[in-house]
Protein backbone atom coordinates (compact mmCIF):
# COMPACT_ATOMS: atom_id res chain seq x y z
CA UNK A 1 0.00 0.00 0.00
CA UNK A 2 2.81 2.41 0.86
CA UNK A 3 4.81 1.83 -2.32
CA UNK A 4 2.67 4.40 -4.13
CA UNK A 5 4.42 7.04 -1.99
CA UNK A 6 7.83 6.19 -3.46
CA UNK A 7 6.95 8.30 -6.51
CA UNK A 8 4.44 10.71 -4.98
CA UNK A 9 4.18 13.35 -7.71
CA UNK A 10 3.66 11.02 -10.67
CA UNK A 11 1.18 8.93 -8.71
CA UNK A 12 -0.71 11.99 -7.45
CA UNK A 13 -1.11 13.22 -11.02
CA UNK A 14 -2.55 9.84 -11.95
CA UNK A 15 -4.96 9.70 -9.01
CA UNK A 16 -6.16 12.44 -6.66
CA UNK A 17 -4.63 15.36 -8.57
CA UNK A 18 -5.38 14.11 -12.09
CA UNK A 19 -7.60 17.16 -12.67
CA UNK A 20 -4.49 19.35 -12.39
CA UNK A 21 -2.36 17.19 -14.69
CA UNK A 22 -0.55 18.57 -17.72
CA UNK A 23 1.69 16.52 -19.97
CA UNK A 24 1.34 12.99 -21.32
CA UNK A 25 0.54 9.55 -19.99
CA UNK A 26 4.22 8.96 -19.30
CA UNK A 27 5.38 12.40 -18.13
CA UNK A 28 3.24 14.64 -15.97
CA UNK A 29 3.51 18.09 -14.40
CA UNK A 30 1.45 20.88 -12.87
CA UNK A 31 0.95 24.36 -14.25
CA UNK A 32 3.88 26.36 -12.88
CA UNK A 33 1.57 28.67 -10.89
CA UNK A 34 0.11 25.63 -9.12
CA UNK A 35 3.38 23.81 -8.39
CA UNK A 36 6.79 23.23 -10.01
CA UNK A 37 6.50 19.47 -9.34
CA UNK A 38 7.01 17.06 -12.25
CA UNK A 39 6.89 13.28 -12.31
CA UNK A 40 7.27 10.18 -14.43
CA UNK A 41 7.55 6.47 -13.86
CA UNK A 42 10.92 5.43 -12.47
CA UNK A 43 11.33 2.91 -15.30
CA UNK A 44 10.66 5.56 -17.96
CA UNK A 45 14.19 6.40 -19.14
CA UNK A 46 13.51 9.58 -21.14
CA UNK A 47 11.44 11.56 -18.64
CA UNK A 48 13.73 14.57 -18.44
CA UNK A 49 14.24 14.55 -22.21
CA UNK A 50 10.46 14.66 -22.71
CA UNK A 51 10.14 17.50 -20.21
CA UNK A 52 12.85 19.41 -22.04
CA UNK A 53 10.81 19.21 -25.24
CA UNK A 54 7.51 20.17 -23.55
CA UNK A 55 8.53 23.05 -21.29
CA UNK A 56 9.70 26.57 -22.11
CA UNK A 57 13.29 27.74 -21.77
CA UNK A 58 14.07 28.87 -18.25
CA UNK A 59 11.22 26.84 -16.73
CA UNK A 60 11.97 25.71 -13.18
CA UNK A 61 10.83 22.30 -12.01
CA UNK A 62 10.93 20.21 -8.83
CA UNK A 63 11.50 16.45 -8.90
CA UNK A 64 11.06 14.22 -5.84
CA UNK A 65 12.48 10.73 -5.45
CA UNK A 66 13.98 8.66 -2.58
CA UNK A 67 17.25 7.97 -4.41
CA UNK A 68 19.99 10.36 -5.52
CA UNK A 69 20.17 11.38 -9.17
CA UNK A 70 22.72 13.06 -11.43
CA UNK A 71 22.09 16.15 -13.53
CA UNK A 72 20.31 15.36 -16.81
CA UNK A 73 21.12 16.82 -20.19
CA UNK A 74 19.35 20.13 -20.75
CA UNK A 75 18.68 20.68 -17.04
CA UNK A 76 20.66 22.53 -14.39
CA UNK A 77 20.25 21.41 -10.78
CA UNK A 78 19.82 24.61 -8.76
CA UNK A 79 19.44 22.95 -5.37
CA UNK A 80 19.18 19.51 -3.83
CA UNK A 81 17.20 19.17 -0.60
CA UNK A 82 17.52 16.03 1.49
CA UNK A 83 14.16 15.30 3.04
CA UNK A 84 12.14 12.71 4.89
CA UNK A 85 8.69 11.35 4.23
CA UNK A 86 6.44 10.82 7.26
CA UNK A 87 3.13 8.95 7.41
CA UNK A 88 0.54 9.43 10.15
CA UNK A 89 0.28 6.38 12.40
CA UNK A 90 -1.87 7.77 15.21
CA UNK A 91 -5.36 6.59 16.04
CA UNK A 92 -7.04 9.29 18.12
CA UNK A 93 -9.04 12.22 16.84
CA UNK A 94 -7.80 15.57 18.10
CA UNK A 95 -10.42 17.46 20.11
CA UNK A 96 -8.73 20.87 20.24
CA UNK A 97 -10.73 24.07 19.73
CA UNK A 98 -10.28 24.85 16.02
CA UNK A 99 -12.73 27.78 15.94
CA UNK A 100 -9.90 30.29 15.39
CA UNK A 101 -8.89 28.70 12.07
CA UNK A 102 -10.17 30.41 8.93
CA UNK A 103 -10.70 28.67 5.58
CA UNK A 104 -8.52 30.48 3.04
CA UNK A 105 -9.91 31.51 -0.33
CA UNK A 106 -8.48 32.72 -3.64
CA UNK A 107 -8.63 36.31 -2.41
CA UNK A 108 -6.06 35.30 0.24
CA UNK A 109 -3.61 33.94 -2.35
CA UNK A 110 -1.26 36.94 -2.46
CA UNK A 111 -0.93 37.05 1.32
CA UNK A 112 -0.35 33.28 1.37
CA UNK A 113 2.44 33.64 -1.20
CA UNK A 114 4.02 36.39 0.90
CA UNK A 115 3.94 34.26 4.05
CA UNK A 116 5.43 31.29 2.21
CA UNK A 117 8.16 33.48 0.70
CA UNK A 118 9.10 34.63 4.21
CA UNK A 119 9.03 31.23 5.92
CA UNK A 120 10.07 28.97 3.00
CA UNK A 121 8.01 25.83 3.69
CA UNK A 122 8.41 24.87 0.03
CA UNK A 123 7.38 26.28 -3.36
CA UNK A 124 4.14 28.25 -3.23
CA UNK A 125 2.51 30.33 -5.95
CA UNK A 126 -0.78 32.09 -6.65
CA UNK A 127 -2.58 28.93 -7.78
CA UNK A 128 -1.17 26.56 -5.17
CA UNK A 129 -4.39 27.07 -3.23
CA UNK A 130 -6.09 24.93 -5.90
CA UNK A 131 -4.78 21.84 -4.08
CA UNK A 132 -7.49 22.72 -1.58
CA UNK A 133 -8.30 22.80 2.12
CA UNK A 134 -6.02 25.64 3.22
CA UNK A 135 -6.65 27.15 6.63
CA UNK A 136 -4.96 30.02 8.41
CA UNK A 137 -4.65 32.00 11.60
CA UNK A 138 -5.15 35.76 11.47
CA UNK A 139 -3.96 38.30 14.01
CA UNK A 140 -5.29 41.86 13.67
CA UNK A 141 -6.39 41.08 10.12
CA UNK A 142 -3.00 39.69 9.11
CA UNK A 143 -2.31 36.09 8.04
CA UNK A 144 0.35 34.79 10.45
CA UNK A 145 0.15 31.00 10.03
CA UNK A 146 -1.29 28.51 7.57
CA UNK A 147 -1.36 24.89 6.50
CA UNK A 148 -3.08 23.06 3.68
CA UNK A 149 -3.02 20.00 1.48
CA UNK A 150 -0.89 19.35 -1.57
CA UNK A 151 -0.38 15.93 -3.19
CA UNK A 152 -3.30 13.51 -3.15
CA UNK A 153 -1.75 10.10 -3.80
CA UNK A 154 -4.29 7.29 -3.90
CA UNK A 155 -5.37 6.76 -0.28
CA UNK A 156 -2.85 9.32 1.02
CA UNK A 157 -3.17 13.11 1.35
CA UNK A 158 -0.16 15.35 1.99
CA UNK A 159 -0.14 18.01 4.69
CA UNK A 160 1.81 20.93 3.27
CA UNK A 161 2.75 24.61 3.58
CA UNK A 162 3.09 24.41 7.35
CA UNK A 163 4.35 27.87 8.16
CA UNK A 164 4.21 30.53 10.86
CA UNK A 165 5.42 34.12 10.68
CA UNK A 166 8.63 34.47 12.75
CA UNK A 167 6.95 37.06 15.00
CA UNK A 168 4.34 34.50 16.06
CA UNK A 169 6.41 31.38 16.72
CA UNK A 170 5.84 29.49 19.97
CA UNK A 171 2.11 30.15 20.13
CA UNK A 172 1.08 26.66 19.01
CA UNK A 173 -0.38 27.75 15.68
CA UNK A 174 1.49 25.13 13.59
CA UNK A 175 0.46 22.29 15.87
CA UNK A 176 -3.16 23.38 15.87
CA UNK A 177 -3.24 23.70 12.09
CA UNK A 178 -1.63 20.29 11.54
CA UNK A 179 -4.00 18.61 14.01
CA UNK A 180 -6.92 20.16 12.12
CA UNK A 181 -5.57 18.84 8.82
CA UNK A 182 -5.10 15.36 10.29
CA UNK A 183 -8.73 15.31 11.44
CA UNK A 184 -9.93 16.66 8.09
CA UNK A 185 -7.92 14.21 6.00
CA UNK A 186 -8.99 11.23 8.09
CA UNK A 187 -12.62 12.34 7.88
CA UNK A 188 -12.21 12.14 4.09
CA UNK A 189 -11.14 8.50 4.42
CA UNK A 190 -7.51 9.33 3.66
CA UNK A 191 -4.19 8.80 5.45
CA UNK A 192 -2.12 11.93 6.18
CA UNK A 193 1.51 12.10 5.13
CA UNK A 194 4.04 14.89 4.74
CA UNK A 195 7.58 15.79 3.76
CA UNK A 196 10.16 17.71 5.77
CA UNK A 197 13.83 18.63 5.43
CA UNK A 198 15.91 16.06 7.28
CA UNK A 199 17.67 18.83 9.24
CA UNK A 200 14.48 20.58 10.40
CA UNK A 201 14.60 19.23 13.92
CA UNK A 202 11.89 21.56 15.26
CA UNK A 203 9.34 20.43 12.67
CA UNK A 204 10.30 16.75 12.94
CA UNK A 205 9.80 16.83 16.72
CA UNK A 206 6.34 18.36 16.25
CA UNK A 207 5.27 15.79 13.67
CA UNK A 208 6.47 12.90 15.81
CA UNK A 209 4.56 14.23 18.83
CA UNK A 210 1.41 14.34 16.70
CA UNK A 211 1.73 10.72 15.59
CA UNK A 212 3.72 10.81 12.34
CA UNK A 213 6.40 8.18 11.75
CA UNK A 214 9.33 8.44 9.35
CA UNK A 215 8.87 6.15 6.36
CA UNK A 216 11.52 6.95 3.78
CA UNK A 217 14.10 9.47 2.59
CA UNK A 218 12.79 11.81 -0.10
CA UNK A 219 15.18 13.96 -2.09
CA UNK A 220 13.99 17.11 -3.83
CA UNK A 221 15.77 18.43 -6.92
CA UNK A 222 15.10 22.00 -8.02
CA UNK A 223 16.08 22.33 -11.67
CA UNK A 224 16.05 24.91 -14.44
CA UNK A 225 15.77 24.21 -18.16
CA UNK A 226 18.83 25.37 -20.00
CA UNK A 227 18.19 27.60 -23.01
Assign domain 86-216 to its CATH superfamily: Gcn5-related N-acetyltransferase (GNAT) (3.40.630.30)
Percent of the chain at pLDDT above 70?
Answer: 100
pTM of this structure: 0.95
Distance CA 52, CA 69 (A): 17
2-82+220-225 CATH: 3.40.630.30
pLDDT value of position 158: 98
> Any residues with CB less than 8 A from the CB of 98 and at least 6 apart, and which?
176, 179, 180, 183
Which residues of the chain does CATH 3.40.630.30 include?
2-82+220-225, 86-216
Instruction: Please name which of 38, 76, 123, 64 lies closest in space to residue 224, comparing C-alpha atoms.
Output: 76
pLDDT in tens, 142-189: 999 999 999 999 999 999 999 999 999 999 999 999 999 999 999 999
Amino acid sequence: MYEILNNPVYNALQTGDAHLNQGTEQVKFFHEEVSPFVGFSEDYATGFEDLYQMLAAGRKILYAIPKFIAESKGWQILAEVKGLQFVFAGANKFDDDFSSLIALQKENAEEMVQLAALTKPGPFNLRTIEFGNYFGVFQNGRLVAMTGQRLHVGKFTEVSAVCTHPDFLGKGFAGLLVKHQINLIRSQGQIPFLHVRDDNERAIALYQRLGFEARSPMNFYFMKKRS
